[in-house]
């Protein structure tokens, strides 16, 4: 026979422990659970369901986060953290460019190839217009353009002469970046197996990239320098 008195007492004890949580601990608990909730259900998941999973009331949830948007913003801050050391590494010319890129992308991949990172990023791109824009803008300014500038410097190539050449630079670095990001998509979106040795995969991708990109940049510069043929009347 079930001892209902003991069961009731245990429930009361759990509730008492929950009530005694310090505000900062409670907030942290909510944020971590929200990360899992949004990574699993996307942003259509309700705060009512989230509150239920946490074992708190919806009004208590709103005491910490006055709106669903505020909670989503906090989740984004939690998941999409940025390591400023990456920026210093990219520009450190005491280290060969290939080694810099391998070290950067090996470190960066540890952050972005997590389940919550990939799934929330995809959900945000599909259902919350503009939410990824800030992150992508930072990626462009702090990674893509500096990396291409360092590649040009390492291979004695001139800086981009105009918007067209900058666009070429960005498309090239996007191709490398996407090949690494796509490992996470394959694993956490498609449920497909990926390499167990991510660092080795990254090293090969960068080796292939640097064996082709300098020549592509030289070719693009020559093409840009050619006078355009006049249109026939």
CATH number at residue 27: 1.10.357.10
Evaluate whether residue 39 is within a structural domain: yes
Residues 32 and 72 in one domain: yes
What's the average model confidence in pLDDT over 163-167? 93
Residues 178 and 149 in one domain: yes
Q: Is the pLDDT of residue 199 over 70?
A: yes
Q: Which one is predicted more confidently, 47 or 214?
A: 214
Residues 99 and 182 in one domain: yes
Q: Is 221 exposed, middle or buried (0-12, 13-18, 19+ CB in 10 A)?
A: middle
Radius of gyration of the chain (CA): 24
206-223 per-position pLDDT tens digit: 999 999 999 999 988 776
End-to-end CA distance of the chain: 98
Evaluate whether residue 7 is within a structural domain: no
Evaluate whether residue 230 is within a structural domain: no
Q: Is the pLDDT of residue 92 over 90?
A: yes
Asked whether 117 and 80 are in contact (CB, 8 A), the reply is yes
Q: Which residues constitute the domain of residue 99?
A: 81-223
Residues 62 and 117 in one domain: no
Q: How many domains would you assign to the chain?
A: 2
Residues 125 and 190 in one domain: yes
Give the number of other Cβ atoms within 10 Å of residue 42's Cβ: 16
Q: What is the pLDDT of residue 50?
A: 81
Distance (Å, whole) CA 108 – CA 189:
19
Q: Is 144 exposed, middle or buried (0-12, 13-18, 19+ CB in 10 A)?
A: buried
Residues 56 and 67 in one domain: yes
Q: What is the SS3 assignment for 191-220?
A: CCCCCCCHHHHHHHHHHHHHCCHHHHHHHH
Domain boundary among 78, 105, 126: 78
């Amino acid at each position: 026979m079930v001892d209902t008195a003991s069961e009731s007492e245990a429930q009361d004890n759990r509730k008492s422990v929950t009530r005694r949580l310090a505000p900062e601990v409670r907030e942290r608990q909510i944020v971590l659970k929200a990360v899992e909730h949004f990574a699993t259900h996307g942003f259509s998941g309700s705060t009512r369901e989230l509150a239920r999973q946490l074992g708190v009331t919806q009004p208590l949830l709103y005491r910490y986060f006055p709106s669903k948007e505020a909670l989503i913003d906090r989740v984004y801050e939690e998941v999409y953290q940025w390591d400023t050391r990456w920026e210093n590494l990219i520009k450190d010319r005491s280290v060969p460019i290939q080694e810099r890129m391998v070290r950067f992308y090996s470190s960066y991949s540890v952050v972005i190839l997590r389940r919550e990172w990939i799934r929330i990023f995809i959900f945000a791109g599909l259902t919350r217009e503009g939410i990824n824009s800030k992150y992508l803008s930072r990626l462009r300014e702090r990674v893509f353009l500096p990396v291409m500038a360092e590649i040009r410097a390492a291979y004695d190539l001139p800086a981009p002469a105009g918007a067209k050449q900058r666009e070429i630079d960005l498309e090239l670095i996007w191709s490398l970046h996407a090949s690494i990001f796509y490992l996470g998509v394959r694993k956490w979106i498609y449920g497909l197996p990926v390499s167990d040795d991510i660092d080795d995969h990254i090293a090969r991708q960068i080796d292939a990239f640097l064996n082709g990109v300098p020549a592509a940049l030289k070719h693009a510069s020559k093409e840009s320098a050619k006078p355009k043929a006049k249109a026939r009347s």
